[in-house]
Amino acid sequence: MADINISYGEDISGHVPEGDPATAWERRRDDYKLVSPLNRRKFKVIVVGTGLAGAGCAAALGELGYNVSSYTFHDSSRRAHSVAAQGGINSARARKVDNDSIHRFVKDTVKGGDFRGREADAFRLAEESVRVIDHMNGIGAPFAREYGGELTTRSFGGVQVSRTYYTRGQTGQQLQVSAHRALQRQVAAGTVNLHTHEEMLDLIVKDGRAVGIVTRNLRTGKISAETAHAVVLATGGYGNVFHKSTLAKNSNCTAAWRAHRRGAYFASPAYIQFHPTALPISSKFQSKTTLMSESLRNDGRIWVPLTAGDTRAANDIPENERDYYLERKYPAFANLTPRDIASRAAREQIEAGHGVGPLKNSVYLDFRDAKERLGVKVLDERYGNLFEMYRDATGEDPHEVPMRIAPGAHFAMGGLWTDYDQMSNIPGLFVGGEAGWAYHGANRLGANSLLSACVDGWFTLPYSVPHYLAEHLGEAPVDVADDVVVQTLADVQERIDRLMNIRGTVPTDHFHARLGEILYEGCGVSRNDSKLRRAIEEIRELRDEFYRELFVPGTGEQFNQELERAGRVEDYLELAELMCVDALDRKESAGAHFREEFQTDDGEAQRNDEEWCFVSAWEMGPDYSHIRHAEPLTFEAIELQTRNYK
């Protein structure tokens, strides 16, 4: 069995202000140092990524007058994967009389995350969620409205109120395009220098501080460095490590992982969310798993045939031979249980032989009753584009036959560790959005990711980054001729040369696909000790094979999409091991991290608050060894309790 080298480092502090977590953010902001308007342009800040967090942060810092350098590997700042989020964005505006409140939002988020996130972070998320809606509406996002002209909302999983604001099934797109346009406004104003198709390949660290980045131009292959007073990474999540995921094909962990290689701690890598309403794999040529919005669970009913192996068409199965298993097991939340629970329940049904479809790898999501209740017109207004997308992907019409859905790798709750100010353990390196670990604990609630990206970008980093900058007034960014810059450039070149020079015979995607299979099996919806150990062994073998057999055509000094992918897969091969190590190390079940050894009598996740009420933040040791630090978690406003959605 694999020899796994884990050692334990010192506990770390999240630097949460002492006292009531409900007022922590206000008190922290009052403590932050300021930079006067005339001094702001003297500070250069690099923001990597132009999704909701990155575009928001770059635009907001630009509006304030800082000198911002924004980077994206896409051809335009509009493309980032935030664009694909469908269902909505939560906000604790609590305008209705359904008894929502800041406190209830925090409770839902903390409990939804199974008490493995920071309570004070959730309060900030709730508090700032109010003006996020005002701001995104203000810059042009056409939120859905009631006939009376007010904002309308819908419900999402894990919540018993209606606090999700939306624009049909394309909320992410409307928010992303609005943020992109706000960023382009700053580009036109000259405050933001936007670099498109530049991929970050390394972080420059001098005297323990983040002072710049190295990037490769994807169109020309040219490698260059830029230095600054601070660096913000808003580079998204790592779900694509599973190869078949709901993420866009280019989403990757490289920027975050290279920062980890330079010393930034990586928090909770094992916490990965499997989305219960992804489309099942139907052929080996399928390039990804398409996501269907969770909002469909508002009106769709999930079921499987009562009899295992039933091969009748869905509409031929009578009502009393259907098992609406979520409604049966979780009557209080029914089809709107949180994602981890819905995914695990689906996996159980599929493994017990109740799966449907040609490969028996999916469950039904049925709109028959909703169609009767609401009519086709209302149904199409709510989900029209999703129904169309489903029809394109499968050739079937969900108005007539139930959708088939299956759990697919989706959102990374884990990410670079940051403190309450969203600064990593490397001073000057800040993290926003899914690239970080904040808010969501061991399971993210639906419609909280668009929110956290917006809150980070528009309403947290613009406060906390200047606090760091203020201490460096009068200092110039590190000279690009500095030894440390030259050395980092050389390191990046060496990594590229190494990949180019393997000259084996196997294309990159083959390794990636095999890695995905290993992870789905070993570190998927449920895990156990022996599956994880086997996965680690297989990942190491695959990594050796990668360095022996990889073939990248062309050269490094040109547009080379195979080389781009090879660099990303190289990083996944390291991240995947850390995910398994974290999952193996954490001897409890929490949220999306379900260890089969740790479950209640009725099969629910069993936390161990005595021993595991902390965030694991991993440091990279030499020769693939792993050093685990812990940030202890305390809960003052929301009492530690067992999750119960029954």
Partner 1 sequence: MRLTIEVWRQENPDVPGFFEEHAIEGAQEEMSLLELIDYLNDHLVSEGREPIAYDSDCREGICGTCGITVNDQPHGPVPNTPSCRQHLRSFKDGQKLRLEPLRSAAFPVIRDLVVDRSAMDRVIQAGGFVAVDAGTAADADSMQIGHGRAEKALDFAACIGCGACIAACPNGAANLFAGSVLNHLSTLPQGKPERSKRARSIIQEIDESFGPCSVYGECAVTCPAGIPLSAIAAVNRERARAALRRGKDD
Residues 367 to 396 in contact with partner 1, rule: CB under 8 A? 389, 392-393, 395
> Does the protein bind partner 1 through residue 281 (CB under 8 A)?
no
Rounded to the nearest 5 degrees, what angle is found at the Cα of 281, between the Cα atoms of 276 and 282?
135
Which residue of 34, 98, 138, 332 would you call a contact of partner 1, by CB under 8 A? 138
Q: Tell me how far apart the alpha carbons of residues 54 and 52 are, in angstroms, rounded to a whole number.
A: 6
Among residues 196, 224, 425, 599, which is the contact residue for partner 1, using CB under 8 A?
A: 196
CB contact set of 270 (below 8 Å; sequence gap of 6+): 414, 523, 527, 579, 580, 582, 583, 586, 593
| Residue 298, token pair as written in the block | 């508002």
Q: Which of 29, 42, 103, 131 binds partner 1 (CB under 8 A)?
A: 131
Single residue of 3, 31, 148, 207 touching partner 1 by CB under 8 A: 148
Q: Among 28, 40, 44, 93, indicate the residue that binds partner 1 (CB under 8 A).
A: 93
Q: In 239-293, which ranges are E strands?
A: 266-267, 272-278
Q: Which stretch binds partner 1 (CB under 8 A): 132-140, 223-231, 368-376, 520-528?
A: 132-140
If the CB atoms of residues 69 and 337 are measured against partner 1, the closer one turns out to be: 69
- Contact letters (x/-) for partner 1, 538-557, by CB under 8 A? -------------x-xx---
Burial of 51 (0-12, 13-18, 19+ CB in 10 A): buried
What distances in angstroms separate CA 475 from CA 83, 230, 472, 484, 594, one per listed residue? 37, 12, 6, 17, 48
Binding of residue 283 to partner 1 (CB under 8 A): yes
Residue 481: CB partners within 8 Å, gap ≥ 6? none
* Residue carrying structure tokens 């200092």: 475
For tokens 């131009």, the residue is 217
Cβ proximity to partner 1: between 291 and 489 the closer is 291
Q: Is the separation of the CB atoms in 413 and 268 below 8 Å? A: yes
Would you say 29 or 371 has its CB closer to partner 1? 29
Q: Distance between CA atoms of 267 and 417, rounded to whole angstroms?
A: 5
Q: Which of 15, 33, 41, 145 binds partner 1 (CB under 8 A)?
A: 145
CB of 69 to partner 1, least distance (A): 17
Which residue's CB is nearer to partner 1, number 125 or number 633? 125
Q: Which helix (DSSP H) or strand (DSSP E) does residue 602 occupy? A: none
Minimum distance from residue 40 beta carbon to partner 1 (Å): 14
Cβ proximity to partner 1: between 36 and 505 the closer is 505
Under rule CB under 8 A, residue 30 binds partner 1: no
DSSP state of 168: T
Closest CA to 436 of 470, 404, 471, 460: 460
* Pairwise CA distance, residues 485 & 466, whole Å: 24
Indicate which single residue of 436, 462, 466, 524 sits in contact with partner 1 (rule: CB under 8 A): 462
Count of alpha carbons within 13 angstroms of residue 24, beta-carbon side: 23
Tell me the window of 13-21, 283-291, 471-479, 605-613 that interacts with partner 1 (CB under 8 A). Answer: 283-291
The per-residue DSSP string of 396-429 comes to --TTTS-EEEEEEEEEES-EE---TTSB-SSTTE
CA 419 – CA 432 distance, rounded (Å): 11
Q: How far apart are CA 397 and CA 387, in angstroms?
A: 7
Of 16, 35, 182, 451, the residue at the interface with partner 1 (CB under 8 A) is 182
Choose between 42 and 181: whose C-beta lies nearer to partner 1.
Answer: 181
CA 191, CA 288: separation in Å to the nearest integer? 38
Catalytic residue flag (residue 216): no
Query: 112 or 236, CB closer to partner 1?
Result: 236
- The CB-of-266 to partner 1 minimum distance in angstroms stands at 25
Distance from first CA to last CA of the chain, Å, rounded?
A: 40
Minimum distance between the CB of residue 302 and partner 1, rounded to whole angstroms?
A: 21
Closest approach of Cβ 627 to partner 1, in Å? 35
Using DSSP's 3-state secondary structure scheme, residue 593 falls into strand
Question: Which of 325, 387 has the CB closer to partner 1?
Answer: 387
The site for partner 1, by CB under 8 A, has a size of 79
Cβ nearer to partner 1, comparing 263 with 507:
507
Binding mask 284-323 for partner 1 (x = CB under 8 A): -xxxx-xx--------------------------------
Q: Which of 105, 325, 437, 458 binds partner 1 (CB under 8 A)?
A: 458
Helix (H, G, I), strand (E, B) or coil at 283: coil
User: Distance (Å, rounded) from C-alpha 218 to C-alpha 564?
Assistant: 8
Please give the Cα distance from 485 to 288 (Å, whole number): 38
Which residues, 208 to 267, sit near partner 1 by CB under 8 A? 219, 248-250
- Find the binding residues for partner 1 in span 38-57 (CB under 8 A): 56
Residue 152, classified by CB atoms within 10 Å of its CB into exposed (0-12), middle (13-18) or buried (19+), is middle
150 binds partner 1 (CB under 8 A): yes
Among the listed residues 72, 170, 240, 589, the single contact to partner 1 using CB under 8 A: 170
Q: Which of residues 72-91 bind partner 1 (CB under 8 A)?
A: 74-79, 81, 83-84
CB closer to partner 1, 150 vs 479:
150
Q: Is residue 147 within the footprint of partner 1 (CB under 8 A)?
A: yes
Task: Find the binding residues for partner 1 in span 481-510 (CB under 8 A).
Answer: 505-507, 509
For residues 177 and 450, the answer to whether their CB atoms sit within 8 Å is no
Residues 559-598 that bind partner 1 (CB under 8 A): 559, 561-562
Write down the least CB distance from residue 287 to partner 1, Å: 5
The mark string for 397-436 relative to partner 1 (x by CB under 8 A, - otherwise) is ----------------------------------------
Q: Which of 28, 78, 163, 339 is catalytic?
A: 339
101 near partner 1 (CB under 8 A): no
> Angle at CA 172, nearest 5°, toward 526 and 161?
70
* 287 closest CA partner among 248, 330, 238: 248
Give the range of 277-285, 407-415, 485-493, 634-642 binding partner 1 by CB under 8 A: 277-285
Listed residue (227, 232, 625) closest to 426, CA to CA = 232
Token duo for residue 467 = 């606090």
Q: Which is nearer to partner 1, 251 or 488 (CB)?
A: 251
Residue 190 within binding range of partner 1, rule CB under 8 A:
no
- Half-sphere exposure (CA, 13 Å, Cβ side) for 230? 32
Q: How far apart are CA 255 and CA 435, in angstroms?
A: 9
Catalytic residues: 339
